């Protein structure tokens, strides 16, 4: 935020600086979120999901 204030004070362009910072932030965070999603899918174990569903089905039937 300090760099933003420095650029804003030098150029007198407040809103344009925020747009540039927002685009840079989006370019960094969007691909990272997609990578984390892929990693999460890769690390998830289908067998544990199936066992979890079976356990839940039995506990619901017991009630």
CA-CA distance, 7 to 26, in Å (whole number)?
20
Whether the predicted pLDDT of 54 surpasses 80: no
Q: Where is pLDDT greater, at 29 or 1?
A: 29
Which range of residues forms the domain containing residue 15?
2-62
The pLDDT score that the predictor gives to residue 9 is 79
**Domain count across the chain:** 1
22-26, 37-41, 44-48: which has the minimum mean pLDDT? 44-48
Q: Pick the closest to residue 24 from 12, 35, 16, 14 (CA basis).
A: 16
Q: How confident is the model at residue 53 (pLDDT cuts 50, 70, 90)?
A: low
Instruction: DSSP for 8-55, please give it.
Output: HHHH--HHHHHHHHHHHHHHHHHHHHHHHHHHHHHH--HHHHHHHHHH
pLDDT, greater one: 28 or 6: 28
The pLDDT of residue 40 is above 80: yes
CA separation for the pair 6, 28 (Å, rounded): 22
């Amino acid at each position: 935020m300090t760099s933003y204030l420095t650029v804003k004070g030098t150029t007198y362009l407040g809103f344009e600086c925020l747009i540039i910072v927002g685009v840079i932030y989006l370019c960094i965070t969007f691909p990272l979120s997609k990578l984390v999603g892929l990693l999460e899918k890769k690390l998830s174990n289908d067998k544990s999901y199936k066992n979890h569903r079976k356990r839940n089905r039995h506990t619901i039937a017991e009630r």
